[in-house]
Structure 1
Amino acid sequence: MAHQVPAVTPPRVVVVGSANVDEVFAVQAIPAPGETILSHGVMTARGGKGQNQAVAAARAGASTAFVGCLGSDDFGRLTLAGLTEDSIDTDAVRVIEAPTGRALIAVEPGGENTIIVEAGANADVRIRPEDRAVIADADVLLAQLEIPIDSVVEAAVSARDSGTLVIVNAAPMAALPAALLDATDVLVVNELEAQQLRGATGVTNLLDLVPVVVLTLGSKGAILQRREKAPVEVPAPIVDVVDATGAGDTFCGALAVALAEGMPDAEALRFSVTAASLSVQRAGAVPSIPTRAEIATELDRIAD
């Protein structure tokens, strides 16, 4: 099937965002305020919304570059080596005298999680002239909101001016400047983020802000709607959830590849939802992200 075959010339995706090292604690239940609980396992793995999305795009078949900032510590060296192992271009990654970003994550047996993020070096992400050249050379820019918002705006405006498709994942939720909305082609939000943006329960009034809205619905799938067109909705397959950490990022990275390859909307959504459904069946953020071959195999299984 066409959507399962990587493009002959891989699309070029550049991700501007955060890179963290996650410490993931397995717990019986998410602790309440003031409550102390014991973990029954811990793992250290690469994460951060920017890194997750870059890895997802690379594993889904894109030629991927990452623009971000790491610390000159062991976690930074671990992260840089991991990006290289995933064949991600790291020429635009700066290493500074600051701690690499970290996240403390508690995951309960049903896969739900709670996350605390320390920005560290991510707070120093800036868009330099050489970064603009990387963005201009890409088919798609993918950005999130775990780095300074001014840098997100600058990257998006630079991409728009270069004719690069701009996808913004409005997470973690923050006020979106008018300049960022004006430069955004595709806005990806979950249901809570949609409500926070415009008091929306769906995508219709978000289309006043941007041309295309993608609403992720967790275990229910996702909806894509363009202005003056009927919405496209794709359900998610029923799976056993191990850890939902990074599922939304996996969706975004796969979506960037699908849209860059010109997949029809329904096919692009199905590709992205399937990638996310595979990720929740494994622990961790980066370790859970599937490859193109795994996504293709799952799509074949679902179609049978």
Structure 2
Amino acid sequence: MSRQPGAPALFIGDVALDEYFATDTWVMPGDKGLIETREVYVGGSIANAARVHAGFAGSAEFVSLLNHGELTQRLLAALAGDSVGVQHMLYDGTIGDQRNLIFLVGGEHIVLTPDVDDRPMRFEPEALASLAKPGYVYTTLNRAERLRAGDLDAAAVLRALRAGGRKLVFDLDVDGLADGDNELLRGAHVVMMNNHGFTRSFGAEAAESAVREWMAELDIDVVLRSRAAAGVMAYTAAETLRVPGFSVPVTDVTGAGDTLGGSLVYALGAGMPLAEAVGFAVAAASRSVMHMGPNGGVATIAEVEEFAASFATQTAN
């Protein structure tokens, strides 16, 4: 693939210290169990996606709300080391440190995130004007609903970004849709969710017509349904793309969804057609689960292409 990176992509969300533990079984209330302490990584789902994007030589900027402490400096240094810009980072010295506790249990993972902060992320009007320029925005509903700028609420901030040429990509992950989300999602280019989120939003056996009706109502271009090892379904107004996953040995699934999102944003920004972009993102995400840690998806284009060629005949059902 010989394509040039697109305009700088903006990633708005979380960055955290990911502390890993392993156990044979998940204990129930009242029980006790021993856990094995594993590695510690700089992670956070949106920051992971930004680092994946930057690994392809894509220009990426990350924005979150952090304190001024020692852990924050460690997180910022890790982002800078992976060529992710932080020039519009927001700070508040009163909020807590950002950490995730990740437990590996029987081939799956359980993530516990301390709720240290949910206050608004306030941009100065000048900063919003600087960010409202052509390119992609990758974020979550949780973060999007916290955006503010002057007198603008979250929906107005998103409209300002779109008016400046930003294409919005939302990762709904497992949560799916909830009351009040529609105005934030209106006009989005891509809405991503995994099987759990899709089922919560539309039902396990949702008709494609129902998905498209919702997309048309909110002027959404693409709904992307991640089905883990089975690959991805991408709904547009005209068609449903089905891209199979790859059958690979799994080491750690942490960060696979982030890799999918960061890779998709890179590929779309580089000008790939949707089907090609989704195929590239699926290959990158499939490759990532063969590596330990949330940053297993950070790779070069050549590494993803080499992986796809090597496992081309080993697609999952």
- With normalisation by structure 2, the TM-score equals 0.85
Q: C-alpha displacement at 1:79, in angstroms?
A: 0.5
CA contact (8 A) 2:134 2:165 kept: no
The equivalent of 2:151 in structure 1 is none
Residue 184 of structure 1 pairs with residue 188 of structure 2: yes
The equivalent of 1:82 in structure 2 is 78
Q: In 1, distance between residues paired with 2:272 and 2:206?
A: 24
The equivalent of 2:235 in structure 1 is 225
Q: Can you list the C-alpha shifts for 1:120-147, whole angstroms capped at 9, x where unaligned?
A: 3564533432442343234111111343
Q: C-alpha displacement at 1:172, in angstroms?
A: 5.4
Q: CA 1:5/1:287 → structure 2, altered by over 3 Å: closer, same or farther?
A: same
Name the SS for the 1:283 alignment partner: coil
Q: In 2, distance between residues paired with 1:212 and 1:85?
A: 33
Q: C-alpha displacement at 1:90, in angstroms?
A: 0.6
The equivalent of 1:299 in structure 2 is 308
Match of 2:172 among 165, 170, 173: 170
Q: In 1, distance between residues paired with 2:188 and 2:282?
A: 22
The equivalent of 2:69 in structure 1 is 73
Residue 286 of structure 1 pairs with residue 283 of structure 2: no
Name the SS for the 1:236 alignment partner: coil
Q: Which moved more, 1:198-207 or 1:131-140?
A: 198-207
Root-mean-square deviation over aligned CA pairs: 2.3
Instruction: Give the letter aligned to residue 252 of structure 2.
Output: D
Instruction: Give the letter aligned to residue 258 of structure 2.
Output: D
Residue 94 of structure 1 pairs with residue 98 of structure 2: no
User: How many aligned positions are there?
Assistant: 298
Q: In 2, distance between residues paired with 1:155 and 1:293?
A: 37
Higher fraction of helix: 1
Q: In 1, distance between residues paired with 2:285 and 2:47?
A: 15
Q: In 2, distance between residues paired with 1:171 and 1:128?
A: 29
Residue 51 of structure 1 pairs with residue 47 of structure 2: yes
Q: In 1, distance between residues paired with 2:269 and 2:130?
A: 16
Match of 2:221 among 211, 225, 242: 211
Q: CA 1:193/1:290 → structure 2, altered by over 3 Å: closer, same or farther?
A: same
Structure 1: 5+ residue runs without aligned partners? none
Match of 1:107 among 99, 104, 113: 104
Match of 1:142 among 134, 138, 141: 138
Larger Rg: 2
Instruction: Give the letter aligned to residue 191 of structure 2.
Output: L
Q: C-alpha displacement at 1:202, in angstroms?
A: 4.8
The equivalent of 1:244 in structure 2 is 253
Name the SS for the 2:28 alignment partner: coil
Name the SS for the 1:239 alignment partner: coil
- With normalisation by structure 1, the TM-score equals 0.89
Name the SS for the 1:118 alignment partner: coil
Q: In 2, distance between residues paired with 1:279 and 1:13?
A: 21
Name the SS for the 1:293 alignment partner: helix
Residue 277 of structure 1 pairs with residue 290 of structure 2: no
Structure 2: 5+ residue runs without aligned partners? 148-153
Instruction: Give the letter aligned to residue 159 of structure 2.
Output: V
Q: In 2, distance between residues paired with 1:264 and 1:108?
A: 38
CA contact (8 A) 1:145 1:172 kept: no
Q: In 2, distance between residues paired with 1:96 and 1:124?
A: 11
